[in-house]
């Protein structure tokens, strides 16, 4: 069950982000005695393998500014490590409702603008927009990934499309490189704290890599409209999951 969840999470994460929606619940259900800290740490150890494979696949087969993506990724790595260090001190009861409101606004925006992420790939963002994107997608979302986590890839895609005029395909490709950085930064902190279950992580990571490879190839083949559809589905599921955690779990 854990390996199947890891493969499915790799596919979803490669297309539009949000693989943790599948992987974290699977770890907590499949291993009932696992602490939340160990679930988060193991999730990062598994996810970093899948995001690396999908990032390489995107970089080889789709138009992506590798230098820009690496710049984002390096900043996100440090920010995610900082977020992971503060993870235990933050009230999720306050953060989760804010995230749900933001996601609902994103869903409404994407539905109201059918062209969002399907056009604009020929527009070049200026230096100011790149600087804002670097702080938002690199530092801000990287910190969030280490701090809380769910939907990081989705937030990255939305930020890159909105701020840098990328298509959904290019944004997904760039987001994967950034996501490798966030996962590495958070994993370093969790590993140092001893909250990674290394007995199951390697096999799950292999399955996550397979899912990531398949998801990246499908996204490249189907294009931005397909990614936009998956984005709406993932945002809906993420809101439902956060609402369950906040009020009904």
pLDDT of residue 90 exceeding 70: no
Q: Which pLDDT does position 191 carry in this prediction?
A: 92
- Hey, which of 49-58, 78-87, 223-232 has the most confident mean pLDDT? 49-58
CB 26 within 8 A of CB 1: yes
pLDDT of residue 62 exceeding 90: no
Q: Which pLDDT does position 134 carry in this prediction?
A: 80
| Greater model confidence, 193 or 91 | 193
Number of structural domains the chain divides into = 1
| Greater model confidence, 197 or 148 | 197
Residue 9 structural domain = 2-248
pLDDT of residue 105 exceeding 60: yes
Q: Which pLDDT does position 119 carry in this prediction?
A: 58
Lowest mean pLDDT among 33-47, 51-65, 103-117, 177-191: 103-117
pLDDT of residue 52 exceeding 70: yes
The structure's pTM equals: 0.79
Q: Which pLDDT does position 50 carry in this prediction?
A: 93
Q: Which pLDDT does position 148 carry in this prediction?
A: 72
Degrees (nearest 5) of the Cα angle 208, 195, 236? Answer: 50
pLDDT of residue 123 exceeding 60: no
Q: Which pLDDT does position 223 carry in this prediction?
A: 81
| Greater model confidence, 217 or 118 | 217
- Hey, which of 53-67, 98-112, 181-195 has the most confident mean pLDDT? 181-195
Residue positions counted in the chain: 249
């Amino acid at each position: 069950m854990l390996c199947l969840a890891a493969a499915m999470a790799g596919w979803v994460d490669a297309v539009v982000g949000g693989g943790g929606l599948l992987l974290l619940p699977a770890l907590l259900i499949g291993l009932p005695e696992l602490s939340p800290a160990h679930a988060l740490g193991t999730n990062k150890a598994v996810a970093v393998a899948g995001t690396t494979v999908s990032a390489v696949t995107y970089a080889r087969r789709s138009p992506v500014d590798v230098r820009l993506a690496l710049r984002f990724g390096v900043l996100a790595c440090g920010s995610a490590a900082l977020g992971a260090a503060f993870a235990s001190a933050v009230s999720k009861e306050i953060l989760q409702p804010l995230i749900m409101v933001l996601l609902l606004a994103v869903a409404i925006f994407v539905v109201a603008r059918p062209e969002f992420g399907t056009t604009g790939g020929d527009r070049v963002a200026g230096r100011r927009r790149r600087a804002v994107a670097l702080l938002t997608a690199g530092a801000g979302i990287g910190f969030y990934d280490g701090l809380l986590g769910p939907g990081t890839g989705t937030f990255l895609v939305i930020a890159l499309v909105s701020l840098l005029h990328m298509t959904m395909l290019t944004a997904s490709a760039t987001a994967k490189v950034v996501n490798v950085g966030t996962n590495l930064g958070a994993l370093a902190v969790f590993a140092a704290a001893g909250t990674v279950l290394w007995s199951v992580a390697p096999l799950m990571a292999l399955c996550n890599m397979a899912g990531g490879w398949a998801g990246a190839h499908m996204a490249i083949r189907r294009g931005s409209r397909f990614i936009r559809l998956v984005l709406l589905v993932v945002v809906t599921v993420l809101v439902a999951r956060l609402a369950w955690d906040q009020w009904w779990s």
